[in-house]
Amino acid sequence: MPTRQLLLLALLLLPAAAHGQSEADLKSYFEGRTVKLRIAMPGTESGVDVYPGTAKPLDFPRHASRLKDNGTALRSGDEALVTKIKVKSKLIEFQLDGGGYGTMGDETSSGLSVGSTPKTRREQNLEGELKRETDPVRRRELKEELDELQKDREREDARNRAALADAQESKKANIRQRRLEGGSRFNIRYNNGVPAAALRPEAVRAALAAYVEFPDAAAAAEPARPEPRGLPAKGMLLADADRLLGTPESTSERLEGKLRVTTRTYASSAGRVVAEFVEGVLIRYTVTSE
């Protein structure tokens, strides 16, 4: 076959070779499936950033900050529905239970404002009369009436500010609750753009294997990376670690920049566990035999 015909045949076959490597195929494979989480996830569309193939795939201090700022929408051990897969130029969004609060249409600001109570017509007239009046007795009468009207206006402003503060707190509470109900997401990021090889279901599962359990037959073929039985998992909340390991033998705290780091030592059947938490989220632990 002539070289030109071979080249044409190769070009015609190229789309077939790329089958399974597109957003549409990832959506078909994952959306509607239920997965089990191995880490806590924040209630925000910022979600959890994962950088596959790097020395530090997940930045746990940043993860802890997002949990602290936005609350925990999904906890370690929770099951969540994959609601959307979206491929962008440098990341793959793996959205769970709605993808996280703060997407288009979600109210994120709790700010409210109210203007000052305007002057009444009577107050404006009194100000004008006071400027023109020269009789001391009459001026005193006008001033007393004007002062009383100004106090009424100040009392109205105080009532409005109190009502505004209550409304802001109610709005904040509503947003906090909606954050906890809005799901979260993983952002699988690639600094140089999403490679074609990353658009395969097995590549997405591998990128999230440390943070998500895929309870299906296809995922069972992936190399498993479970944490040892009876030991905590990175991303676990401090309260969950206490429930798993029991009352700690000792606790200490320190500050690293603006983050609070807590170190707790536990005696477990596997040995002595020294765990470090950043803002209440487990980032690392060591086990030594006793």
Q: Which pLDDT does position 88 carry in this prediction?
A: 95
pLDDT tens across the length of the chain (290 residues): 444 444 434 433 443 333 446 899 999 999 999 999 999 999 998 999 999 999 999 999 999 999 998 889 999 999 999 999 999 999 999 999 988 876 545 455 555 566 788 988 998 998 998 899 999 999 999 999 989 999 988 888 888 777 677 666 666 666 666 667 789 999 999 999 999 999 999 999 999 999 999 986 444 444 444 444 568 888 888 888 898 899 999 999 998 777 788 999 999 887 899 999 887 888 889 998 76
Tell me how far apart the alpha carbons of residues 34 and 78 are, in angstroms, rounded to a whole number. 10
Residue with tokens 């100040």: 154
224, 250, 277 - which closes a domain:
224
In CATH, what number is assigned to the domain containing residue 287? 3.30.1450.10
In this predicted structure, what is the pLDDT of residue 80?
93
Q: Is residue 63 part of a domain?
A: yes
Tokens 């807590």, residue located: 262
The answer to whether position 106 is within a domain reads no
- pLDDT score at 235: 80
57 & 162 share domain: no
Residue 112, domain member (yes or no): no
Helices (H), the chain: 3-17, 23-30, 60-70, 121-132, 136-181, 201-208, 217-220, 238-245
Together in a domain, 132 and 246:
no
Q: Are 3 and 57 within one domain? A: yes
Q: Is residue 108 part of a domain?
A: no
DSSP string, 84-120: EEEE-SSEEEEEETTS-TTSTT---------PPPPPP
196 and 147 in a single domain? The answer is: no
Work out how many domains the chain is built from and give that number.
3
What range defines the domain where residue 280 resides? 227-290
Looking at the fold, whether 10 and 84 belong to one and the same domain comes out as yes
DSSP 3-state of 175: helix
